[in-house]
């Protein structure tokens, strides 16, 4: 059986922009629907969405048939949780609330087999190795892991350069909402001071030879970050898209609002 090459990681190394969509509905059915759209990656959120190990597995299984990269955000930078996700077959990790180099090193170690890491060895019962059907899985697995550190606080930003020097960190994702709160501008991630810090961070990340990432649902602002060099950019959230579309549709009948596209004559 052919070993699973991490094409998402390869794309970041080749400096190819990867557009993503956040998955917060915790539904394999919804995730599969989104997989058919054409995004490069989908983020399965275990930090702020009510995902479990089982619901994450179901979404991974649903996405496996499509050319889209699953990225998983665990609830925390926890060695046990990261080990279990790695055994499920997760290759791309977005680790929340990284504030210093030691935390970044711990995240990398948790998903790497010894001697470079601390991941437990149990390939014979792991989906990641296809239950030992992948040849040389234990030898090759480390090279295909992609660790993305989420820096989302003033403290994290003050240690950004140290985090970027950690071997095994492939990229840094900036969390605008938490960063703005940490800076004293809660609920205002578009504040000029917040945006200045974000733009400077993207420049520093790229200068260090790492991939920069962010989530922003404003197309103009998202494109601005791409133009600055951000490589993995989530441009929407499934929960928000569903609520927005449902609200707009209801407004057509409740308030007489007009939609942008009224050409469809189908029931869906």
Active site residues: 48
Helix (H, G, I), strand (E, B) or coil at 98: coil
Residues 94 and 171: their CA atoms lie apart, in Å, by 9
Of 214, 110, 94, 108, the closest CA to residue 149 belongs to: 94
Query: How many residues are recorded in the chain?
Result: 268
Alpha helices by DSSP H, 111-175: 137-140, 154-158, 160-164
Residues 77 and 261: their CA atoms lie apart, in Å, by 43
Can you read off the two tokens belonging to residue 80? 């046990």
Q: Indicate the DSSP class of residue 128.
A: G
Residues 72 and 24: their CA atoms lie apart, in Å, by 11
């Amino acid at each position: 059986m052919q070993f699973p090459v991490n094409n998402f990681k390869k794309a970041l190394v080749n400096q190819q922009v990867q557009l993503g969509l956040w998955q917060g509905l915790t539904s394999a059915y919804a995730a599969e629907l989104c997989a058919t759209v054409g995004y490069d990656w989908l983020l399965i959120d275990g930090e702020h969405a009510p995902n479990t190990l089982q619901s994450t597995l179901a979404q991974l299984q649903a996405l496996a048939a499509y050319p889209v990269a699953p990225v998983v955000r665990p609830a925390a930078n926890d060695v046990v949780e990261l080990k279990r996700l790695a055994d499920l077959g997760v290759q791309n990790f977005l680790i929340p609330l990284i504030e210093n180099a030691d935390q970044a090193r711990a995240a990398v170690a948790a998903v790497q087999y010894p001697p470079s890491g601390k991941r437990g060895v149990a390939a014979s019962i792991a989906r990641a190795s296809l239950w030992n059907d992948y040849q040389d899985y234990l030898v090759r697995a480390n090279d295909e892991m992609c660790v993305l550190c989420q820096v989302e606080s003033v403290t994290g930003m003050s240690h950004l350069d140290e985090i970027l020097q950690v071997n095994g960190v492939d990229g840094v994702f900036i969390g605008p909402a938490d960063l703005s709160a940490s800076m004293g501008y809660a609920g205002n991630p578009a504040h000029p001071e917040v945006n200045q810090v974000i733009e400077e961070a993207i420049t520093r990340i790229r200068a260090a030879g790492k991939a920069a990432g962010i989530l922003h649902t404003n197309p103009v602002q998202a494109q601005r970050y791409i133009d600055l060099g951000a490589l993995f950019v989530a441009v929407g959230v499934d929960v928000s898209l569903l609520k927005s579309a449902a609200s707009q549709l209801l407004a057509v009948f409740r308030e007489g609002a007009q939609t942008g596209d009224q050409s469809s004559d189908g029931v869906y």
